[in-house]
Each structure stands twice: as structure tokens, then as C-alpha cells.
A and B are shown apart, each in its own frame.
Chain A
């Protein structure tokens, strides 16, 4: 939607916190641990949706006419606010929920023990990525959405309820961020500042891939992940900035990212 959304990091943190705290409460009551995955997902959706709707309807929809950069700043402001909201709700102490992670045990792959949970994560990522691609390119709603992104005014003239599509897209995007947070929550300790790290990293991913391109984002994520692991393994000193280095290198060679579309020049 031509929105560079810094608030995304907050949704990631929101999802992680909601999942961690609710799942911990759920497990503490002694309910069957296998269902904790459902709680994980449910918690993220439950908490992120009202925030997303509120932000889109309450603030962002009045600002779409303004410059892309202005929207970036607005979401940055919202990010600062949400960062403190998270601290107010959940405090600054770390949350751990290791059960869903430990529950699945680990698999032996090529002689190495590998946590099954991580494999499930990979599966979930492929599922959501594929699902999103299907939604966008194979369904009526998805095609209409692409039209809205391309030209909101003409879409409105054609009788599409543009406002509704903006809302749906924003909520869907935020939900995905929250879900990502929820899925990651069992593997890390959930602490303040979770959102800050992830947002800059995901910008690197989408910029490498090309803004607004699904295959680009997937490829960018793989590149970032592999490069990061390689550097942790071989050259740990450079781990922190190797990603930005890759991003700068990609932009130097392909100024709009790997999978960018051609842009018409405006005279």
C-alpha cells in the first residue's frame, strides 16, 4: 500500500507478549499442553486486532493523502507510543514460555539434533507466505486489493470500497506481524525492545527483496537469515552489521531491490 510501517515492530512485540503471558497463564492452570499452540495463535490475534483497527481507522486513514515519508514518521510516532503501552501492560520483566518449544522434542536430521519446533516454524512461514500469495493473486478480494494499491482513485470510481480494503490490508499485515511474534515467543525471552530489533531487520529484508513484492520478501528473508547464520558461524565480529552491508550492496547494484517493478517517470 506504499506504507512503510514502523509500527509493525510493535505488533511483533505485542504478539509476542500476548502469546507469552496468556500461554503461561494457560499452562499454569494445568490444561492440556498440546492445546497451548492454539492459545499462542489466539492470543496474538485477540490482542493485535483491536490495536490495528484503532490505528488504521483512528489515525492512518486521514493521512494516506500525505507523502510516503510523512506516513513513515506517523508510524514511527505510533511505534514510540506502543512501545510504552507494552511496557505499561506487561512491565519490564522478561517472560519465558519454553513448554511449546520443548514439547515437540527434536529430530535427527543428517546426524544433527534439530528442534522440531523450528521445523514447524519453517512450515508455518511457507504456509502463510503461500497463503498470502494465493489470497492476492487467486481470489477476487486479492485482485481488487492489487487494483486499489495501483490506483486508489480509479478503484473508487469503479465502485470498490477503498477504505475497507485499506483497513483489511492493514489489519491483516499487523496480524501477520503479531503471529510472527507469537511463534517466536517460545524460543526467546520476551523483553522490552523486541520490536526495535525486528523492525530494522525486516526493513532490510523488504528493501533487499524490493518493496511491495512477496517473492522478493521471501528471498530477502532467506538471504538475510543465511548471511546472518554464516557470519555468526565464521566471522562473529561482523554479525551485527553484515545485514546492513548486504542491504547497501544490493541497493548499490539494484537501486530498488531485487524484485522491484519498473516505475513510470512523472514529468
Chain B
């Protein structure tokens, strides 16, 4: 896995300068979404569907944005770190509540929490209310890249962060705590009989997932250059779930591949039929669930 990820990273860095700007944009956004979905993968393996991952995505984005707006910080690594820290903190606190719930209740409660943030943001004038606000152009380690190189710089940094995150999650899945996930999904009471705490395991997974979503949100904010409360709306969470189902939960690379495919489908659907892109998305989601329950990228890569 480590070799594969490094190879992809090197390839991306090498090919990057020749990619058109729009392709780099799609790829960076896909990486941001992939990070969020990587967190969802952890939860999904434990049988938990969070319909509120947008909460942490939005927290990450707004932390990054607030840093730029109030302190003039535009370094993407500091922004990502801030997004991750804020999301982790909030998830740690909320985790005490959420780790008690399973199934539908977990999903709906997380949805409610993200809608609370949406409501708060819409009413907060200092953060731009429904319009949101713009993000400063990204810098790296205090260096401001030339305008035509910004996209490339952001893409490569994003890929590096995503690669590290994917490797860490891959590692985590092989630890005893990580291996507990399918057990929690299958039968929680047996997990308790074995002496493990399901609630604690879920709490840890929730915080990890939130941290990843926070990084993803910060990344999306600096890539798109604009943030608004829509990022916390439940349809955003729906998108992440969509990608997770599309990709499958078989391995840590699937979320990124899934996010890329989603980005392409989304862009093409929007381009070909601007009025019915939701329908195309809904149809593909339906077909996937019925015919490919394990997702696009989990079947083929199973031998790993």
C-alpha cells in the first residue's frame, strides 16, 4: 500500500505541470472530498452512516476562512491544521453524545447537529451570513507561488496530505481498535463480551473521521476560494455518502478514486444537462446500490 501511494504521489507531481487548470481544480476538490469520505469509510465499516459529516467539513472550511479573514493567515498547511484541530475538538465533545447511538438514530442526530451549524452560520453576520465570504489566495510556508502555479502547488500539497492520511488510516485499520469496526457492525454485544468498549471505539472513529473532514473542508475552502453555509447543509453530507457508496469501503484508496469519479460525473452531468443533474446522480446512486453494493473500487482491489 505504501509503495502504491508513493507511486501515485510521484506520478501526480510529475504530470501535474502539464495538466490544464480545470483538471487540477477537479482533482484537488476530489482530494478534499476524498479525505472526508475516508473518514466516512471508518464509520461505515462500523455500520454507522453519518448524515452529518458536512458539519466537520464546514467547520474545517470556516476555521481556515476565519484564519485568513481575521488574522491574515493564508498558508494552506496552517489552515488545514486549524481545520483539523477545530473539527477534532468539536467531534471529541459531540462524541460523548453520539457514540451512544447506532443505525438510523446516529445518522439523524448527526444530521441535526450539522443543521444546527447551518442555522447558526446563516444568522451570523460576522461570517457573511448566507453569502459566506472569500478566502485569500493560498500560500505555502510563507511563499506566494506565481498565479499560474497556485493550483499546482495546492494540488501537490493536498495530494501529500491525503497520502499521509490514507497511510495512517490504512495502518489504523490493522490495529486491534481498527479491526473492531466490522465486529461492532455485526454484533455489538459480543464486542462487549470480549472486553472491548464499543462506545469508546465509535468515539475514536468519530473523532478521526471528523479530523479528516476538517482537513478536507479547509482544503476545499482554499481551492474553491469561497465558503458559505451550504457546506453544512444536509445535501452536502448526502454527497459524501454518495461518494462512499460509489467507492465502497474496501480500501483506503477507494474514497479518493470515488471522489474523482464523482467530480467527473457531477461536472459532466452539469455540463450536459444543467437541469437534470440531480436526476443523473440519483439514478447512478440507485443503480450502484442495486447492482454494485460493494462499490466501484472495492471489488477489483480486493486482493490487496
Contact = CB atoms under 8 A, between A and B. Distances in A.
Interface in B86-115: 97, 100-101, 103-105, 107-109, 111-113, 115
A211 B113 contact: no
A10 B14 CA distance: 47
Nearest to B123: A237
B118 A251 contact: no
Contacts, number: 122
Contact of A59 (B118, B235, B286, B293): B286
B241 interface: yes
A196 to B, nearest CB: 7
Interface stretch (B30-38, B57-65, B274-282): B274-282
Task: Classify chain A: how many residues form its interface, as a range.
Answer: 35 or more
Interface string B237-253: 01001000100000000
Interface stretch (A61-69, A125-133, A169-177, A181-189): A61-69
A165 interface: no
Interface stretch (A12-20, A77-85, A213-221): A77-85
B257 to A, nearest CB: 19
Contacts of A59: 286, 290
Contacts of A68: 103-104
Q: Is the interface of B mostly helix, strand, loop or mixed?
A: helix
A207 B108 contact: yes
Interface stretch (A28-36, A97-105, A239-247): A239-247
Interface in B48-80: 49
Contacts of B285: 73, 76-77, 80
Contacts of A83: 278-279, 282
A83 to B, nearest CB: 5
A212 B116 CA distance: 25
Chain B interface residue bracket vs A: 35 or more
A240 B233 CA distance: 12
A241 B55 CA distance: 13
Contact of B104 (A69, A76, A78, A200): A69
Interface in B10-57: 47, 49
A21 to B, nearest CB: 18
Given A59-B286, A63-B290, A248 B112 contact: yes
B105 A255 contact: yes
Contacts of B189: 265-267
A88 interface: yes
Contacts of B116: 241, 244-245, 248
A258 to B, nearest CB: 13
B7 interface: no
B289 A241 contact: no
Given A77-B286, A81-B278, A248 B113 contact: yes
A146 interface: no
Contact of A241 (B47, B97, B100, B120): B120
Contacts of B235: 196
A72 interface: yes
B107 A244 contact: no
B119 A244 contact: yes
A256 B279 CA distance: 33
Contacts of A207: 105, 108-109, 112
Nearest to B229: A240
Contacts of B47: 69
Interface in A228-267: 237-242, 244-245, 247-248, 251-252, 255-256, 265-267
B196 interface: no
B199 to A, nearest CB: 12
A87 interface: yes
Contact of A81 (B109, B113, B241, B282): B282
Nearest to A201: B115
A76 B235 CA distance: 10
B101 to A, nearest CB: 6
B289 A88 contact: no
A73 B245 contact: yes
CB-CB nearest 9 A-B residue pairs:
A241-B119, A80-B282, A240-B119, A84-B279, A81-B282, A77-B285, A244-B112, A77-B286, A241-B116
10 contacts: A59-B286, A69-B49, A74-B286, A76-B285, A77-B286, A81-B279, A83-B282, A251-B109, A256-B105, A267-B187
Given A63-B290, A80-B285, A266-B189, 13 more contacts: A70-B293, A74-B286, A76-B238, A77-B283, A77-B286, A81-B279, A81-B283, A81-B286, A84-B282, A207-B108, A255-B105, A265-B189, A267-B189
